[in-house]
Amino acid sequence: MTAAYDALIAHTRQTTALEQAAGLLAWDQETMMPDAGLAQRGEQAAALQLAIHDRATDPRIGDWLAACDGADLPPMALRNVALIRRGFDRATRVPADLQAAIARAASHGHGVWIAARAAKRFADFAPTLDTMLALKREEAACMADPGQRPYDALLEAFEPGLTSAALKPLFESLAGPLSALVQAIAERPAPPPLSGRFPADAQRRLVADVAAALGYRLDAGRIDIAVHPFCSGQGSDVRITTRIDETTPLDCLYSVIHEVGHAIYEQNMPDVTLLEPAGRYASMGLHESQSRLYENQIGRSRAFAGWLYPRLQAAFGALPVDGPEALYAALNRVEPGFIRTEADEVQYNLHILLRWELEERMIDGSLPAADVEEAWNARFAALFGRAVPDAAMGALQDTHWSQGLFGYFPTYTLGNVYAAELFAALERAIPDAADLIAAGDFAPLRTWLTTHVHARANSRPAQQIVADAIGYAPSAAPLIAYLQAKFSGLYALA
Amino acid sequence: MTAAYDALIAHTRQTTALEQAAGLLAWDQETMMPDAGLAQRGEQAAALQLAIHDRATDPRIGDWLAACDGADLPPMALRNVALIRRGFDRATRVPADLQAAIARAASHGHGVWIAARAAKRFADFAPTLDTMLALKREEAACMADPGQRPYDALLEAFEPGLTSAALKPLFESLAGPLSALVQAIAERPAPPPLSGRFPADAQRRLVADVAAALGYRLDAGRIDIAVHPFCSGQGSDVRITTRIDETTPLDCLYSVIHEVGHAIYEQNMPDVTLLEPAGRYASMGLHESQSRLYENQIGRSRAFAGWLYPRLQAAFGALPVDGPEALYAALNRVEPGFIRTEADEVQYNLHILLRWELEERMIDGSLPAADVEEAWNARFAALFGRAVPDAAMGALQDTHWSQGLFGYFPTYTLGNVYAAELFAALERAIPDAADLIAAGDFAPLRTWLTTHVHARANSRPAQQIVADAIGYAPSAAPLIAYLQAKFSGLYALA
């Protein structure tokens, strides 16, 4: 039985190493690759994906798993067996031609979506979305366990163990308080923004210093410029990207702080099990919780504004905001926008709620693509209190659906919920957390997160890791309390 | 039959795409990877090599090849079939455990060689070299066709179709004239070198401009800094590296010009067949001919010195050499050295001759590792007219043998021979080549090389490509004539 497990895990480790190689190709494409190299890179990435897929569906995995049945293995090995079995079952349940059809539809859909968004015409995208929905429903039906809802089968790819039934009360508890908060803030004057002229070189130096101060290991990572900020890699080679807007330092800085949260999670998992399923990240939601906690609970706190202010002065000279308190307000400006990726902490989860409601109905068949734009606009007006001006600002703004990503959006809000819960627990464990942040002593916070989250990797489901860390079952209550307290103060609400 | 060919070529194209991915991992390791990432990269590269090896020895290749036997296919397809058959035969003739043993010995041998070189003790390396020689002899015996000499079986990995019997008259014709030239130059005063202070930023701008002027497409490539200069990639993504020494601009500049020669070859093969064996480079020797032609026949010519001189002035201000003619002399300084990688055009091929003589005897068993240092020193004294001071300057200077690379060295000299022949043919076709170089109009030269070399890719053996380009059978005569004429002038020899 041990021989079967050894063969299984050696095979899996090699597959993971190939996935890391594929990750490097993707990083290079966004940061280093010369423009002309795109078509060739496509062939390289496709060849690598095929090699990975062949390994992931190798029939010997079934034999090894069968031989491991009932084996007397240590807990991490049993967890590996369970995760590999789950992945193998789900991968082999979907016929290869359906997988290929989805890949083709995603590639085609992405192009159609770009054109439709440029034209601001949802109708141009709707037929393509319907095709994708039919394929994804078929895929969900293949992957689902007996009795599992199709949407939950898709959700599992990103957040194992999560169900839409569990999401429903979470989103319902968020909807009322956040919608009320947004509409109350809208009646208040917005604080001055941090705008002016901020040279690119000075921004690059500043964000490298901030990233290092937060605990990002630059000897095991690097920061580059890309169109979209992202984090790539595992363990001893975790790279982040950012972008630079010379009219404000905040886009670059808070992209870096967000990605640093992801990177610190990846850099602090146990080295020896990095290539094993139980040694990787536990879920997309838990990953996002780490980026959000650094970006918001730490990075947009009053204490952090106090630490950051003199560093901004040193980097850029005189600032357009007068003192740390004004910086704190500028870091937390709430503006009436329409775009999820530009949304502040208060509005962000309402964006996700809206998408989750719509995509769940799209997958269960009760919302055809032709009706999505109208449903979007109606729900947006109810939640945000204003009308969507056009489809590019509304139902066409995100790429996810065009590429078949259904069940991904909820992990963003789950990340915010986990972040609020984990930070509340961290503050109970480290009562002087705000003083440490104000002093730039971030190590004790990172250590607490490593102990309770990073080092646990995927040893158990994400929900369990959070529950173990906070000492009770997760809920949205800490997030709501955090946002209400913070923004009531900032905007002088009753 | 066409179906079998289609399956064969689709399989091969995917394998080549994986090899390109492996090439990117290697490039990244030398240029971008954070230091801590080395161990992980080792696992990624090993997993990719295993996947490539599995594909390259897939038994279905044998079936497809059998089905292609006698098929009515176009010439490029027949060439592909022949090359794939040759590669498959050679790969499958070597048992997997022998391949693994060689890989382990290479990894181990590299470490032993580094330590022995640092200690300047060849005896520390000799037992490791003997182990490697035994393995390589076994490998050669497996790969060899009936009647093929073991050394020729190794040579074929780098220069298909070349035999030691063909190399013998080539090296014999070079030995006398070059040895005489070296010893005559040694009695003459050396011209002043180009040394001083040359800021790194100015060097980087200069070499990018020179690379672009020579015809290197920067939209399909990039120039980075690495410990050793190299060229990586194919087609629309061909990257080069260089290094910077602020006491002279020539190391950086001539590394770039050399790598640009490699890169221009790769950038100008036909796009559609890049992933097929007949669409790749024809041999290591032909590859090296392109780098040498740009570096020496073009880059170290009087005409190029005239073009370069004002550019060096613009980049660095006043120069320590007075005028283009003094620059031309500085570019062609011959100094009594011991290290191959630092050797000038005249001495370089004597270094290779020495290595070829020794490694051929090592493989045929007549020169045991314990006797290599003595043989090296004796031959060096005869060829160069001076004594080797220690093993680090002698038999321990190159990494090749420690890693099992036997049969590689001759391709360097073959590159020089081909370069001289091709440039002589180019000058016959373009009589005003020197005027074009002086004017910085390099495009007609590049076009001639693309027509006669680059675009022919691996459509026929390298020797045939050169013979077709020059109109007669290759020999060392043009190289000898070129070196004698150039250096007799430079050093005022009789």
| Interface contact B247, partner A, CB < 8 A | no
Could you tell me the two tokens for A212? 């290092």
The pLDDT of residue B382 is above 80 = yes
- Residue A419 CA to residue A290 CA, distance in Å, equals 7
Report chain A residues whose CB lies below 8 A from the CB of B276: none
Residue A473 confidence (pLDDT): 77
A25–chain B nearest CA distance, Å: 7
**What ipTM does the predicted assembly reach?**
0.92
Angstrom distances, CA of residue B292 to CA of A352, B226, B260, B347: 60, 20, 10, 14
Mean pLDDT of B10-29: 97
Instruction: Give the nearest chain A residue to B53 (CA atoms).
Output: A51
Residues in chain B within 8 Å Cβ distance of A42? none
Rg (C-alpha) for chain B, rounded Å, is 23
Closest CA to B15 of A58, A47, A24: A47
Say whether A18 and B219 touch across the interface (CB within 8 A): no
Nearest CA in chain A to B51: A51
Instruction: List the one residue out of A469, A490, A204, A191 whose CA is nearest residue A335.
Output: A191
Q: Which of B335, B17, B121 is nearest to A37 (CA)?
A: B17
pLDDT at B1 over 70: no
Count, residues in chain B: 494
- Which DSSP string do the residues of B136-169 spell out, in sequence order? HHHHHHHHPPTT--HHHHHHTTTSTT--HHHHHH
Q: Report whether B438 contacts B430 (CB < 8 A).
A: no
**B141-165 residue pLDDT tens:** 999 999 999 999 999 999 998 999 9
**Number of residues in chain A:** 494
Summarize the confidence of residues B445-450 as an average pLDDT. Answer: 98
Q: What is the pLDDT of residues A106-165, one digit of tens each?
A: 989 999 999 999 999 999 999 999 999 999 999 999 999 999 999 999 999 999 989 999
**Average pLDDT of span B202-225:** 98
The answer on pLDDT for B2 being more than 90 is no
Provide, rounded to the nearest whole percent, the portion of chain B with pLDDT above 70: 100
CB contact under 8 A, A14 and B50: yes
Q: Is A24 within 8 Å of B20 when comparing Cβ atoms?
A: no
pLDDT of residue A1: 58
- Pairwise CB contact (< 8 Å): B222 & A14: no
A7 to chain B, closest Cα gap in Å = 15
Question: B291 vs A83, B265, B336, CA distance in Å?
Answer: 51, 9, 24
pLDDT in tens, A452-491: 999 999 999 999 999 999 988 779 999 999 999 999 999 9
Tokens of B493: 């020899």
* Gyration radius of chain A over CA positions: 23
Answer yes or no: is pLDDT of A367 > 80.
Answer: yes
Q: What are phi and psi of B228, to 5 degrees?
A: -120, 135
Question: Using the beta-carbon criterion (under 8 Å), do A274 and B40 form an inter-chain contact?
Answer: yes
DSSP A62-125: HHHHHHHTT----HHHHHHHHHHHHHHHHHHHS-HHHHHHHHHHHHHHHHHHHHHHHHT-GGGT
Give the separation between CA A32 and CA A42, rounded to whole angstroms.
15
Query: Coil, strand or helix: which one is B215?
Result: coil
CB environment A313-334: b (16+ within 10 A), e (fewer): eebbeebebeebebbbbbbbeb
Determine contact, residues B148/B164, Cβ cutoff 8 Å.
Answer: no
Structure tokens at B450: 């693309």
Between the CA atoms of B250, B255, B257 and B262, what dihedral angle is there, to the nearest 10 degrees? 170
What is the mean predicted confidence (pLDDT) over A374-380?
97
Contact between chains at B32 and A222 (C-beta distance less than 8 A): yes
Question: Which residues in chain A are contacts of B237 at CB distance < 8 A?
Answer: 33-34, 36-37, 40-41
Compare CB distances from B237 to A18, A34, A50 and report the shortest one's residue.
A34
> In this predicted structure, what is the pLDDT of residue A63?
97
B472 confidence band (pLDDT: 50, 70, 90): confident
Alpha-carbon distance values, A203 to A5, A31, A329, B110, B475 (Å): 49, 18, 21, 43, 59
Q: What is the pTM of this model?
A: 0.94
Q: Measure the CA–CA gap between B46 and A5, rounded to whole angstroms.
A: 21
Query: What pLDDT, on the 0 to 100 scale, is given for residue A474?
Result: 78
Task: Provide, rounded to the nearest whole percent, the portion of chain A with pLDDT above 70.
Answer: 100
Mark whether A259 is an active-site residue.
yes
Count residue pairs from A and B with Cβ separation < 8 A: 116
Encoded tokens for B129: 């070299």
Closest CA to A417 of A345, A361, A362, A468: A345
Extended beta strands in B158-315, E state = 223-225, 231-234, 237-242
Q: CA-nearest residue of chain A to B271?
A: A40
Q: Are strands B223-225 and A223-225 parallel, antiparallel or unpaired?
A: unpaired
For residue A133, give every residue at least 6 positions away whose Cβ sits within 8 Å of its Cβ, in sequence order, or none: A362, A363, A369
Single out the residue of A126, A145, A330 nearest to residue A248, CA to CA: A330
Residue range A226-240: mean pLDDT, rounded: 96
